[in-house]
Structure 1
Amino acid sequence: MMRIVHGMMSVLIVSAWLVTPANAADKTLKKEDLTALLESGKTLRLGGEGMGYSGSLTLSADGKGKGSAKPDGGTAIEISGSWKIKGDKFCRTWKGLDKGKEVCETWRLTAPGHVDVYQGKKKIGANSW
């Protein structure tokens, strides 16, 4: 009897793990995910506690972005420019940042409504909505 109960528990645990949505957390967002998330526009919270900065950025469906970010203890930086999805990356060109060059980011879902932002293998920030 004990063996059957133990076996059933193992099946239940494995079954629960298998039915957890793959996109629940710790997933690199692909083109389809980014498109679904941003196609109607989205307001993002930037950074947050422990990140060294915080702010807000509104991305419009027409590929424009506007907002600001404030480094901890610093002055707010205005953000504006354009964005697009290229392959599996969110690519942006913000006036006043990155010398006006296009930066392409990989977004990795770490919790529902939260992504860590990477440029190559380097984590450069976090966004939430």
Structure 2
Amino acid sequence: MRVVVGVLAATLLIGGAAAAAEKQKMTGQELTALLGQGKELILGGPGKGYAGTLSLGADGKGKGQVKLDNGQVIPIEGVWAIKKDKFCRTWKGGRDAGKEICETWVKTGDKSVEVMVGKKDLGTNSWN
């Protein structure tokens, strides 16, 4: 019985460590390496309530759009920069128009993140 409990505990610890590793925040260095030369991001996806794309240019400009499940299309355009360990953006339209929003990107896989502002989960970004 002790062996089974020990194996189960070890399995849970290993699984927990793997899960914790997947939930690491991206550093400024990682964000710069990923986005610094420009990148096409995939926004949302199945089950997220929205889907779209966002082209981030090496010049600090971004442009794209998302389509909500209800059919509404929201254009995205503005500027972005990496500040410390955050992706900061100022879009021209939408609910945050003209305001700088700094996001923390939390790794969920090799090519995906959950986007957080404080404790608020804004959604998913991924890339190829």
Task: Give the TM-score band, short-chain normalised.
Answer: 0.7 to 0.9
Q: Which amino acid aligns with 2:27?
A: K
Structure-1 separation of matches of 2:119 and 2:72: 28
One-letter amino acid matched to 1:126: T
1:38-82: CA deviations, max 9, x gaps?
011000000111111100000000100000001102221111000
Cα RMSD for the two superposed structures:
2.0
Aligned residue pairs, count: 113
TM-score by length of 1: 0.80
**2:85 matches 1:73:** no
Letter of the aligned partner of 2:62 in structure 1?
G
| Identity level (%) | 55
Residue among 12, 32, 37 paired with 2:34 = 37
CA displacement, residues 100-123 of structure 1 (integer Å, 9 cap, x when unaligned): 211000000111100000001111
Q: Any stretches of 5+ residues in structure 2 without a counterpart? A: none
AA matched with 2:121: K
TM-score normalised according to structure 2 size = 0.81
Please give the alpha-carbon distance, in whole angstroms, between the structure 2 residues aligned to 1:53 and 1:42. Answer: 20
- Where does residue 22 of structure 2 map in the other structure? 25
